[in-house]
Structure 1
């Protein structure tokens, strides 16, 4: 298919990744091992080591990437620029299964993408190399919004780091706050190749139809969503969350296996907020991202 299939992952960025990783472990996530990224700066350039490192919370459907800078003397793959704006979520990746087909679609639509951007990293120190094909929307003010195709999904969705104590099972949706929701929505819909619709709260909603194995080797077909709302709607969507700048990827909803019962008990010492569809961990306890367990 030459459209986006599902919400693949979001990515949080911090200068120092250690506190970010510790915060997500405190939330009950089992994180993958520390991995230094590498890739090509241009489609035909050599593979080189990057200064960025990550650990991830892999779910049955989708995942959350937690990035930081390990070596400031190396190319940081944009993480340095992101954290200058704020520490929090800057990456929004939609799953695809045909990089070349989606590249052709975007070029026909006038999007100036130079080619497929290749990224790779070891899944663990000394371990096999995971590889990815990416199509980032050029110069998107929302952050790194991109299509991604996992070329080695069986390497990253590893059972050793998928046993989450909080019952997390699927990345279900994310909330983007924009001063111009129509403009942001048009950009994301263009990237996805899918139509948008009005959001029930305010702004717009992009529904990703899903496909079996679209966001993980064992992921079911399920609809995932991106909500694009104006700043005045943020207090109703995610109470108590303030935007450090606009546009802002404010939060995410993570579906659990037990309607957040385990997460509620595990996180009872945090200042949780009750929402209609679950409980919210405020962004100051989750690396700058409001995390809703549903």
Structure 2
């Protein structure tokens, strides 16, 4: 199928990732081991080590990536530019089933995509190499918005780091803020190959249809969403969250197995905030992105 199927992951980018990794473990997530990334700067270039590294919270459906700079002397793959704007969410990846078909669709639509961008990383030090094929929207002001196909999904969605004390199960919604919501929505709809519709609150939303295995080897077929709001609507959805600059990837909604009961109990000493979708952990506790447990 030559359209996006589901929210695959969102990514939080910071200069120093260690404190953020510790914070996410405090929130009840079991994180994957530290993995330094490598890849090709051009479709035909050699594989080289990058200066960036990540840990991830893998869910039954989708995941959250916490990415930082481990070696400033090496290529940072754009993370340095992102954190110069703000520390927080800068990556939005939509899962696809077939990379070549989507590349052909995007090129037919006039997007100047040079080819498939290949990325790889060890799943743990000395472990097997996970491989990914990406189709990034060129020069998107929102951040790194891309289509992604996991070539080795069974390596990254490992049961060892998927049992979360907070009951997290699925990445359900990504929330963006834009001074020009129609323009941002048009870019995302073009990348996804899907129509947009008015958001119930304000702005627009994209509904990704889902498919079995679209965001993890055992992920169910479920609808996921991207909401693109004007700045004045943000306080109604995520109270107390302010955009450091626009456009801004503000946060996410994570579906839990128990309507956030475990998260509320585990995080009762934090300043949690009630929202229309669930209980929110403010950005200061997460590396810059609002996390709503639903």
Q: Same fold (TM over 0.5)?
A: yes
1:152 CA displacement: 0.1
Aligned equivalent of 1:12: 12
TM-score, normalising length: structure 2: 1.00
| Matches for 1:5-154 after TM superposition, within 5 Å | 5-154=5-154
Distance 1:216 1:233 in 2: 32
1:275 CA displacement: 1.8
Aligned equivalent of 1:176: 176
1:237 CA displacement: 1.0
Q: What are structure 1's unaligned runs of at least 5 residues?
A: none
Structure 2 residue matching 1:12: 3-state secondary structure: strand
Structure 1 residue matching 2:133: 3-state secondary structure: strand
Structure 2 residue matching 1:41: 3-state secondary structure: coil
1:244 CA displacement: 0.3
Structure 1 residue matching 2:263: 3-state secondary structure: helix
Q: Deviations over 1:177-232 (max 9, x none)?
A: 00000000000000000000000000000000000000000100000000000000
Aligned equivalent of 1:160: 160
Structure 2 residue matching 1:271: 3-state secondary structure: coil
Distance 1:237 1:191 in 2: 25
Q: What are structure 2's unaligned runs of at least 5 residues?
A: none
Aligned equivalent of 1:203: 203
Runs of 4+ in 1 over 6 A off after TM superposition: none
* 2:176 and 2:228 in contact (8 A); partners too: yes
Aligned equivalent of 2:221: 221
1:276 CA displacement: 2.8
TM-score, normalising length: structure 1: 1.00
Q: CA RMSD in A?
A: 0.4
Structure 2 residue matching 1:61: 3-state secondary structure: coil
1:238 CA displacement: 0.4
Aligned equivalent of 2:239: 239
- Bigger Cα displacement from structure 2, 60-69 vs 268-277: 268-277
* 2:123 and 2:155 in contact (8 A); partners too: yes
Distance 2:198 2:253 in 1: 19
